[in-house]
Amino acid sequence: MHNGGVISLTNLAVTEGDVTLLPATSIAVPRGAALIVRGANGAGKSTLLRVLAGLTKPSSGQASIGGAAIAAKNATFRARVAAMIGLPPFAPDLTMIDHLALVAVTWWADRKVAMSKARDILGDLGLDALGQRFAHELSSGQLQLFALAIALVRPADVVLLDEPEQRLDPDRLARVIAVLKERQRTGTTLVIATHSPALMEAFAGTELVLEAA
Amino acid sequence: MSAAARRAARTAVAGQTGNLRRALEVWQARAGRDIGERAYRAYMWVLAVLILCAPMARMLWLGLTSDAGIDLLESVRSGHGIIWGVGAVWLAAFGVGSLRGPAMRPPFLVYALGGGPASRTQVFGGPVVRSLATVSGVVGAVVLAGYSALCAAGLASVSEVIVAAVAGVFVGMIAGTLWLAGQVSQGWMRVAAIAVPAVTLVVVAVWLRFGPVVVTGGGDTLSAGQGIPKLLGIVPVTVVGALAALCLGVIPVLLNQLSLPKVLAQSQRWQSAVRSTQLLDLSQSAATYQGAPRWFRKVPAVSRSGGLGLVFFRRSAVGLVRAPGRTMWGLLCLLAAAALIGLSLSTPAGWVVGAATALLTFVGVGPFTDGLRHAASVALSGTMYGISDEKLVALHLFFPLAVILLVLGVGALCVGLIVGTGNPVTTVIAAAITGIIAVLARVNNALKGFMPARLYVPVITPMGDLSALNRVLWAIDAVLLVAVGGIAVALLPTTPVPLLAVFAVLLLVGARRWRAR
């Protein structure tokens, strides 16, 4: 196993019958780093993120986050890892600000802190004017930002993001990059699967290129 | 208008009708089915009728002509069941019209033909006539079946059967027109049109229960000593017939009031629901018709103080008032279920009423369990909240369960006291159990996830591939369990075993899905 990183993968692979969803992959990502995962469609980027989030079981190899095995039902693991892999199931009867506040109050013991975190992330992502809209009233780009806000309103050591640039215009993407940079500056490790040159440039450094099998 | 102008107008209308017919022919020809395909479809229909419909019709007939069935029919006929039934059908027809009216064509045709020179009557007349005929036929057939069973038992004459069937067709025609009126109506007019008759029905119920009832349909139609109107007298049937004839005259007026964008929106929703149903995604199909929350968006759903229990209680309560139409619909279904619970415990064929009650409860709890379904979806998809999935579901369970039990319990108690059906304590307990079954079934259903791939594996039997049956059973398992649960509740005064079995199945299925999430 690759040691010394908050995320450590050793020959991690996922197969389904004869189909390889993720080729054998090894990498160690240090705390506070940003790992850019690149690769063509079907190369296994989303599968890798799903494995790291505990949503898909690997067929072989080992993976750990913070030295512990990945276990989606484990409270410590859940507190450590935040993820946005596709759009999450939004509560249809909550406005954006309500939804973020509800998520935040389950993470932050201090209610004032939770409320301010919810308002802050809306502002940081340029959604503050839309706080009282329901999910069904948002455009696809706004929904993408909302999903990012839900993943980022909570504390986490590791944030997994699957193509966060989807459906975003350059200005919004710049806001997302700024928010992620700030999270990285405070010690959060980022894993970003992306096709966006802007994201690749902003987080250039550690990179994993997956080749389709 | 001069004769020449009238002739020109008639010619123009005939021309538009011809264009419309040709356009519809082009649309219908797009599928390009050859004779073999048509023959195969006809064969499938014949098989479906022979294998599914015929045995079901036979079973229904045997049920109706059984002692319990005859008792039930007799109690409906001699009580106020027919008045309630007709009132409910008319009210429901109007309500359904606002969601999916009879003036309906595929979205493309609504857009292409509705925006053309043809009038609304020309474009939508055909579907409306077909819908009206279907509703009238169904209502007439239901009445015919009921009275035929009574006739077979020697409790009704042949002439009564014929008059009843004709009256049923008239009732269906009025229902069809109200269906169209519901499609045309908008805003407060719609609310008033549903609320006023609903309140009237409740007032009439109270009046019938406590007031000095002497309502008759004609001089010779009072059932001696009962004060109950005999509904097959000449006067009532003639009045209903006249109303039906009046309705036929009103239909063109209503059609020309139709709003095209509204019909288009209804058509798109309907198409989406049909597609989801064809894919056996029934939850998605139902969600297509859920009213979207719009109201009270400025009322914070998350309290700034109090424990998590209070936070989620408030969150559920605020969420509920944000879609008031849907909430009212849920409440109406729950109240209707509450009204039927007492009947299910006291009627000879109570198991049928019990199943219907449980299904109504299942539909009624839908709006109250949005948060619960969201919690189940989150449990299936990953971490969103900073609490365990178990706690998330439990926190979302408290409010809906409290409201549902309150509405069902109080409703059943009030209706029991007004109508005088059964022991109030037993009724309230039965109401609570029915509510719990419905909520548990909702949770199980929300935890279902995607259809397992193994259900697509062919199941070869001497009768053919039965894998489709497995898939249908998987898609409707919650509904089936709830219906069986309702039957078990109705049987509770006799034996608790079926109810215990239903709870065991619900808990086992839920636990299995929870572990597999």
pLDDT-derived band at B340 (thresholds 50, 70, 90) equals confident
**Angstrom distance (rounded) from CA B350 to CA A155:** 55
| Cα B82 to Cα B74, B78, B170, B178, B194, distances in angstroms | 11, 9, 14, 18, 19
Pick the residue from chain A with its C-alpha nearest to B390.
A73
**Residue contact B386–A107, C-beta within 8 A:** yes
**Residue contact B382–A88, C-beta within 8 A:** yes
In eight-state DSSP terms, residue A95 is B
**Residue contact B370–A91, C-beta within 8 A:** yes
- Measured in angstroms, the CA of B299 and the nearest CA of chain A are apart by 9
What does B349-418 look like in DSSP terms, one character per residue?
A: THHHHHHHHHHHHHHHHGGGGHHHHHHHHHHHH---SSS-HHHHHHHHHHHHHHHHHHHHHHHHHHHHHH
Q: What is the pLDDT of residue B223?
A: 40
User: Do the beta carbons of residue B371 and residue A93 sit within 8 Å?
Assistant: yes
Q: Which string of b and e fits B418-454 if b means at least 16 CB within 10 Å? A: bbebbebebbbbbbbbbbbbbbbbbbbbbbbeeeeee
Q: What is the pLDDT of residue B211?
A: 47
Residue B289, helix vs strand vs coil: coil
A74: phi then psi, degrees, rounded to nearest 5: -80, 130
**Angstrom distance (rounded) from CA B107 to CA B268:** 6
Question: Which H or E run includes A11?
Answer: strand A7-16
What's the token pair of residue B256? 């020309």
What does A121-184 look like in DSSP terms, one character per residue?
A: HHHHTT-GGGTT-BGGGS-HHHHHHHHHHHHHSS--SEEEEE-TTTT--HHHHHHHHHHHHHHH
| Distance in angstroms between the alpha carbons of the first and the last residue of chain A | 23
Q: Write the residue in B293, B377, B388 that is nearest to A134 by C-beta.
A: B293
The pLDDT tens digits of the residues spanning B255-267 come to 988 889 999 999 9
- Measured in angstroms, the CA of A94 and the nearest CA of chain B are apart by 6
3-state DSSP of B228-279: CCCCCCHHHHHHHHHHHHHHHHHHHHHHCCCCHHHHHHHHHHHHHHHHHHHC
B19: phi then psi, degrees, rounded to nearest 5: -60, -45
Of A69-83, A178-192, B20-34, B503-517, highest mean pLDDT: A178-192
Angle at A182 between CA A179 and CA A188, to 5 degrees: 105
Who's near B502: CB < 8 A, 6+ residues apart?
B437, B481, B484, B485, B488
pLDDT at B196 over 90: no
pLDDT at B218 over 50: no
Query: CB burial class (10 A; 0-12, 13-18, 19+) of residue B111?
Result: middle
Q: What is the pLDDT of residue B15?
A: 65
Query: CB burial class (10 A; 0-12, 13-18, 19+) of residue B500?
Result: exposed
Pick from B276, B345, B317: nearest CA to B490:
B345
**Angstrom distance (rounded) from CA B447 to CA B378:** 10
Q: What is the pLDDT of residue B64?
A: 87
Q: Write the residue in A53, A93, A97 that is nearest to B293 by C-beta.
A: A93
**Residue contact A92–B370, C-beta within 8 A:** yes
Axis crossing angle, helix B324-346 with helix B389-419, rounded to the nearest 10: 60
Sign of CA dihedral A199, A203, A204, A209: negative
What's the token pair of residue A105? 């109050």
Q: What is the pLDDT of residue B170?
A: 92
- For the ranges A68-72, A90-94, B29-33, B264-268, which has the lowest average pLDDT? B29-33
Q: Write the residue in B320, B382, B387 that is nearest to A106 by C-beta.
A: B387
- For the ranges A183-197, B182-196, B418-432, which has the lowest average pLDDT? B182-196
Question: Which H or E run includes A20?
Answer: strand A19-29
Residue B151, helix vs strand vs coil: helix
The pLDDT tens digits of the residues spanning A66-78 come to 888 888 788 889 9
**Angstrom distance (rounded) from CA B481 to CA B497:** 15
**Angstrom distance (rounded) from CA A171 to CA A103:** 26
Please state the ipTM of this predicted complex. Answer: 0.91
Who's near B451: CB < 8 A, 6+ residues apart?
B280, B471, B474, B475
Q: What is the pLDDT of residue B305?
A: 82
Tell me the Ramachandran region of residue B157: left when phi exceeds 0, alpha when psi lies from -120 to 50, beta otherwise.
Answer: beta
What does A34-89 look like in DSSP terms, one character per residue?
A: EEEEEE-TTSSHHHHHHHHTTSS--SEEEEEETTEE--TT-HHHHHHEEEESS---
What percent of chain B shows pLDDT beyond 70? 86
Q: Write the residue in B298, B304, B308 that is nearest to A132 by C-beta.
A: B298
pLDDT at B213 over 70: no
pLDDT at A88 over 70: yes
**Residue contact A92–B318, C-beta within 8 A:** no
Q: What is the pLDDT of residue B112?
A: 87
**Residue contact B378–A88, C-beta within 8 A:** yes
- Measured in angstroms, the CA of B396 and the nearest CA of chain A are apart by 12
Q: What is the pLDDT of residue B230?
A: 55
Mean pLDDT for all residues in chain B: 84
Q: Write the residue in B323, B370, B388 that is nearest to A75 by C-beta.
A: B388
Q: Write the residue in B298, B322, B386 that is nearest to A106 by C-beta.
A: B386
Max Cα-Cα span within chain B: 81
Strands A7-16 and A19-29: antiparallel
**Residue contact A150–B384, C-beta within 8 A:** yes
The pLDDT tens digits of the residues spanning A140-170 come to 999 999 999 999 999 999 999 999 999 999 9
- For the ranges A39-53, B70-84, B165-179, which has the lowest average pLDDT? B70-84
**Residue contact A91–B304, C-beta within 8 A:** no
- Measured in angstroms, the CA of B308 and the nearest CA of chain A are apart by 8
Task: Tell me the chain B residues in contact with residue A136 when contact means C-beta distances shorter than 8 Å.
Answer: 292
Task: Tell me the chain A residues in contact with residue B386 when contact means C-beta distances shorter than 8 Å.
Answer: 78-79, 103, 106-108, 154
What residues of chain A have any CB closer than 8 angstroms to a CB in chain B?
53-55, 72-73, 75, 78-79, 81-83, 85, 88-95, 97-98, 101-103, 105-108, 111-112, 115, 132-134, 136, 150, 154
**Residue contact A98–B302, C-beta within 8 A:** yes
Mean pLDDT for all residues in chain A: 91
Pick the residue from chain A with its C-alpha nearest to B295.
A93
Taking residue A160's Cβ as centre, other Cβ atoms within 10 Å add up to 28
pLDDT at B373 over 60: yes
**Angstrom distance (rounded) from CA A8 to CA B304:** 40
What's the token pair of residue B379? 């449990």
**Angstrom distance (rounded) from CA B387 to CA B311:** 13
Task: Tell me the chain B residues in contact with residue A150 when contact means C-beta distances shorter than 8 Å.
Answer: 384
Q: What is the pLDDT of residue B1?
A: 57
Q: Which residue has the tokens 């790291």?
A: A52
Q: What is the pLDDT of residue A1?
A: 43
Axis crossing angle, helix B308-321 with helix A96-107, rounded to the nearest 10: 170
In eight-state DSSP terms, residue B292 is P
Beta bridge mates, A208: A37
pLDDT at A120 over 50: yes
pLDDT-derived band at A213 (thresholds 50, 70, 90) equals low
Strand order in A81-84's β-sheet?
A: A81-84, A158-162, A189-193, A34-39, A206-210
